[in-house]
């Protein structure tokens, strides 16, 4: 989702790692996985950020995926076989993601790769997976470049989340149509491709709807004090402030904006979807803020997933866990329809996914290997999160 913080570095890191691919495969470097699958099992590689600076993303996504796999295995498996997840830790490093993907494919003989959670490592592992014709299913990587690079669809790469352009489009329409905003300020994280791309799409769509962007400002990841820029933003007196960023900076920006008397609506995207935003900003400061995300825990349709997850892990899921569960459902459905554990047949079946009821809604895969699924807009109000719109592209 929302995750390609160092995307520009990915190609260089991946190249170095790929040059070592043969050696790594021979010595089993970096995987950290379990034993290979037996003949009555289908091996699936779970390549996630289990340690490092985005371990909370990777761990939650893996838990959601594992829940879906546990459910189908308890029901007898798929086509007479159980699915075996072979887990690997990318350590939140792009180069390590390539190393572990290489081991999973070459040594563990996985039929599918699921993960990582963030964008840059998914892009980095694409070459090795494509060379071996092993499909990648990315649960949370929202950059359009994951599945389509330079206008060409990546034949073995799919995702189970919506993409950045959809989020920017949805929030621009919501600002213009639902909030009747005519002017906006955009405040992005200039160290994040995720944030910058969302800002660009929002501007394009908002102005196409008749709005005007009065000001574009930027901050850097790990910044603590936003008051100087917020002072400038306040003078613009725009109808809305759009902040497509991650929860740590978002919480501080919202808190400081409210302290400075900025009372206008503040809008965001799925990077906001973490309870830590409220912990940092405070529930009162979050009033009159809205963000786009993948599902609402208030929807009746997601309650079976919520209850199953809480029973297994003894805590509520976040959006990453939900998207991991969706990826598991897409995978299970594809293997069933493929009638085989052949990687190329599974790839074809994933591409043909249609009207699949997953954890967060119904998924149909489009020609660019992106799911057609609804986006939900939530309003933070009085410490609660209320559904104010559901938008299907």
d(C-alpha 260, C-alpha 266), whole Å: 14
Residue 246: what pLDDT? 85
If asked whether residues 171 and 155 sit together in one domain, one would say no
Instruction: Please state, in angstroms and rounded to a whole number, the distance separating the CA atoms of residues 60 and 66.
Output: 10
Instruction: Average the pLDDT over 11-18 and give the result.
Output: 43
Same domain, 286 and 184: yes
Given this model, what pLDDT does residue 34 score? 54
Q: Which residues is 113 bridged to in the sheet?
A: 45, 136
Share of the chain above pLDDT 90, in %: 73
**Tens-place pLDDT, residues 254-287:** 999 999 999 999 999 988 988 889 999 999 999 9
Do 70 and 142 lie in one domain? The reply is yes
Q: Is 382 left (phi over 0), alpha (psi -120 to 50) or beta?
A: left
The answer to whether residues 19 and 46 belong to one domain is yes
Task: Check: CB of residue 128 under 8 Å from CB of residue 105.
Answer: yes
For the residues 300-304, what does the mean pLDDT come to?
86
Residue 280 sits in the same domain as residue 205: yes
Answer with the one of 274, 293, 312 that is the final residue of a domain: 293
Q: Which domain holds residue 188?
A: 164-293
Does 139 lie in the same domain as 97?
Answer: yes
Residues 96-150: tens digit of each pLDDT: 999 999 999 999 999 999 999 988 899 999 999 999 999 999 999 988 899 999 9
pLDDT confidence band for 249 (50 / 70 / 90): very high
Count of CA atoms in the C-beta half-sphere (13 A) of 131: 13
Mark whether 44 and 22 lie in a shared domain. yes
Task: Provide, rounded to the nearest whole percent, the portion of the chain with pLDDT above 70.
Answer: 90
Burial of 94 (0-12, 13-18, 19+ CB in 10 A): buried
Better-predicted residue by pLDDT, 1 or 263: 263
* CATH number, domain containing residue 108: 3.40.50.2300
Number of domains into which the chain is organized: 2
What is the number of residues in the chain?
393
In a domain, 360, yes or no: yes
Residue 310's nearest CA partner among 294, 299, 300, 321 is 321
Give tens-digit pLDDT for 32-82.
445 666 779 999 999 999 999 888 889 999 999 999 999 999 999 999 999
For 97-233, where are the E strands, in sequence order?
112-114, 136-138, 148-149, 152-153, 157-159, 183-189, 212-219
Those residues with Cβ within 8 angstroms of residue 59's Cβ, 6 or more apart along the chain or in another chain: 48, 49, 50
Task: Average the pLDDT over 355-381 and give the result.
Answer: 91
Q: What is the pLDDT of residue 35?
A: 60
Contact indicator for 110, 45 with CB cutoff of 8 Å:
yes
d(CA 172, CA 169): 5
Residue 225 domain flag = yes
Q: Is 392 part of a structural domain of the chain? A: no
Q: Does some domain include residue 386?
A: no
Residue 174 tokens read as: 């919501």
All residues at 6 or more sequence positions from 27 whose CB lies less than 8 Å from its CB, including other chains: none
Based on the fold, state whether residues 143 and 28 are members of the same structural domain: yes
> End-to-end alpha-carbon separation of the chain, Å?
17
Q: Are residues 32 and 103 in the same domain?
A: yes
Is residue 389 domain-resident? no
**pLDDT(29) > 70:** no
Q: Is the pLDDT of residue 31 over 70?
A: no
The DSSP bridge partners found for residue 281 are none
Task: Please write the tens of the pLDDT for every residue from 175-217.
Answer: 999 999 999 999 999 988 788 989 999 999 999 999 999 999 9
Helix 55-74 and helix 319-338, axial crossing angle in degrees, nearest 10: 40
- Residue 18 is predicted with a pLDDT of 41
Query: 319-350: string of b/e by CB count within 10 Å (b at 16+)?
Result: bbbbbbbbbbbbbbbbbebbeebebebbbebb
Extended strands (E) in the chain: 41-48, 82-89, 112-114, 136-138, 148-149, 152-153, 157-159, 183-189, 212-219, 240-242, 266-268, 289-293, 356-357, 362-365, 371-372, 375-381, 384-391
Give the closest residue to 32 by CA, choosing from 99, 114, 129: 99
**72 inside domain:** yes
Q: How far apart are CA 63 and CA 73, in angstroms?
A: 15
Shortest CA distance to 115 belongs to which of 81, 91, 132, 131?
A: 91
pLDDT, average across residues 283-300: 91
pLDDT at 36: 66
Segment of 17-21, 227-231, 317-321 carrying the highest mean pLDDT: 227-231
Average pLDDT over the chain, rounded to an integer:
89
Please determine, for residue 9, whether its predicted confidence score (pLDDT) is greater than 70: no
CA distances from 131 to 101, 118, 248, 265 (A): 12, 21, 38, 48
Q: Are residues 289 and 180 in the same domain?
A: yes
- Asked if the structure places residue 388 within a domain, the reply is no
Domain-ending residue, one of 239, 273, 293: 293
Question: CA angle, corner 135, sides to 131 and 137, nearest 5?
Answer: 135
**109 and 63 housed in the same domain:** yes
The pLDDT assigned to 191 comes to: 87
Domain match, 261 and 330 both:
no
C-alpha 111/C-alpha 132 separation (Å) is 10
Say if 390 falls within a structural domain. no
Q: Which of 275, 293, 311 is the last residue of a domain?
A: 293
What is the reported pLDDT for 165? 86
């Amino acid at each position: 989702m929302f995750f390609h913080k160092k995307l520009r570095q990915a190609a260089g890191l991946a190249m170095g790692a790929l040059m070592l691919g043969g050696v790594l495969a021979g010595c089993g470097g970096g995987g950290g996985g379990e034993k290979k699958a037996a003949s009555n099992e289908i091996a699936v590689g779970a390549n996630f950020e289990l340690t490092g600076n985005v371990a909370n993303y990777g761990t939650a996504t893996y838990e959601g995926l594992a829940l879906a796999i546990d459910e189908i295995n308890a029901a007898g498996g798929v086509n007479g076989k159980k699915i075996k997840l072979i887990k690997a830790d990318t350590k939140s490093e792009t180069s390590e993601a390539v190393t572990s993907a290489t081991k999973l494919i070459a040594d563990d003989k996985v039929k599918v790769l699921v993960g990582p959670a963030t964008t840059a490592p998914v892009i980095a592992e694409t070459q090795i997976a494509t060379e071996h014709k092993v499909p990648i299913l990315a649960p949370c990587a929202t950059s359009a470049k994951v599945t389509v690079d330079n206008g060409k669809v990546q034949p073995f790469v799919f995702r189970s989340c919506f993409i950045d352009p959809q989020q920017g489009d949805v929030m621009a329409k919501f600002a213009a149509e639902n909030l009747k905003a005519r002017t906006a300020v955009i405040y992005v994280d200039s160290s994040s491709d995720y944030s910058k791309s969302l800002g660009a799409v929002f501007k394009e769509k908002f102005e196409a709807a008749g709005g005007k962007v009065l000001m574009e400002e930027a901050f850097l990841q790990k910044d603590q004090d936003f008051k100087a820029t917020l002072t400038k933003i306040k003078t613009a007196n725009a109808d809305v402030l759009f902040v497509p960023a991650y929860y740590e900076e978002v919480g501080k920006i919202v808190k400081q904006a409210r302290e400075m008397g900025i009372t206008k609506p503040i809008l965001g995207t799925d990077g906001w979807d973490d309870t830590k935003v409220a912990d940092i900003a405070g529930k009162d400061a979050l009033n009159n803020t809205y963000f786009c995300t993948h599902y609402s825990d208030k929807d009746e349709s997601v309650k079976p997933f919520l209850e199953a997850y809480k029973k297994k892990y003894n805590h509520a899921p976040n959006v990453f866990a939900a998207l991991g569960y969706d990826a598991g459902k897409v995978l299970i459905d594809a293997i069933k329809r493929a009638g085989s554990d052949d990687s190329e047949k599974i790839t074809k079946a994933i591409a043909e996914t249609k009207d699949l009821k997953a954890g967060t809604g119904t998924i149909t895969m489009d020609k660019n290997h992106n799911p057609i699924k609804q986006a939900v807009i939530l309003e933070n109000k009085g410490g609660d999160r209320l559904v104010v719109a559901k938008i299907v592209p």
